[in-house]
Structure 1
């Protein structure tokens, strides 16, 4: 193989590697974007659960102390 043919072959190999790397970066970017969206949704859900818990605690506090009652089946 001549030197020019060898350089051309190396150039083709490099272009192929770059193409695969660009594809991989695109796939990883899509995965990170999807995960970020999911994290935002989960944070919103967690905040709603925290609000509900705080509301429930406030309602229990307003009801006064819990009296030791026997369960209904006794």
Structure 2
């Protein structure tokens, strides 16, 4: 009779742990989806910044006359 009670208690403990783990997995999944969205947004911002830097940097094709020379005090 004692072993049936022990088995029942062990099963209830396992079910409790399983329910807790399911909840934690769901929370982690939610956080992961948030972080993936943030990473995608940051990648877009980096690409935009890279494009702006490329556009603001003088091209090698431009002649040296088009590039403004440094001030005389250099």
Report the TM-score when normalising by structure 2.
0.80
**RMSD, matched Cα:** 2.1
Corresponding pairs, count: 70
Counterpart of 1:31? 31
Counterpart of 2:69? 67
CA distance in 1, matches of 2:38, 2:24: 21
Shift of 1:3: 1.3
Shift of 1:68: 2.4
Please identify which structure carries the higher helix content.
Answer: 1
Shift of 1:70: 5.3
CA distance in 2, matches of 1:70, 1:23: 68
Q: For 1:1-74, what aligned pairs fall within 5 Å after superposition?
A: 2-58=2-58, 62=62, 64-69=66-71
Segments of 5+ residues of structure 2 without an aligned counterpart are none
Does 1 or 2 have the higher relative contact order (CA < 8 Å, sep 6+)?
2
